[in-house]
Amino acid sequence: MAVPKKKISRSKRGARRSTDALNAPSYVEDKDSGELRRSHHVDLKTGMYRGRQVLTPKEDA
């Protein structure tokens, strides 16, 4: 059976767990429309990504 050789201190344990926290998603303001969108994601309203038309824009029903 595997048994740890030494006790892990609170600071070492905390340093290891510090990367486990969840971060809130970050949003950027779109240059063209001024709307908030996720960075490195397609703008679903306009269908633009990095200055190119990638998708056809959604139309409101």
pLDDT tens string 3-60: 999 999 999 999 999 999 999 999 999 887 788 989 999 888 888 888 899 988 867 5
* Count of the separate structural domains present in the chain: 1
What pLDDT was estimated at residue 19?
93
Residue 61 lies inside a defined structural domain of this protein: yes
Residue 4 lies inside a defined structural domain of this protein: no
Residue 43 lies inside a defined structural domain of this protein: yes
- Per-residue CA distances from 39 to 4, 25, 34, 36, 61 (Å): 43, 9, 13, 9, 27
Residue 9 lies inside a defined structural domain of this protein: no
Residue 21 lies inside a defined structural domain of this protein: no
What pLDDT was estimated at residue 60?
59
**pTM of the entire predicted model:** 0.54
* Domain of 49, in residue numbers: 26-61
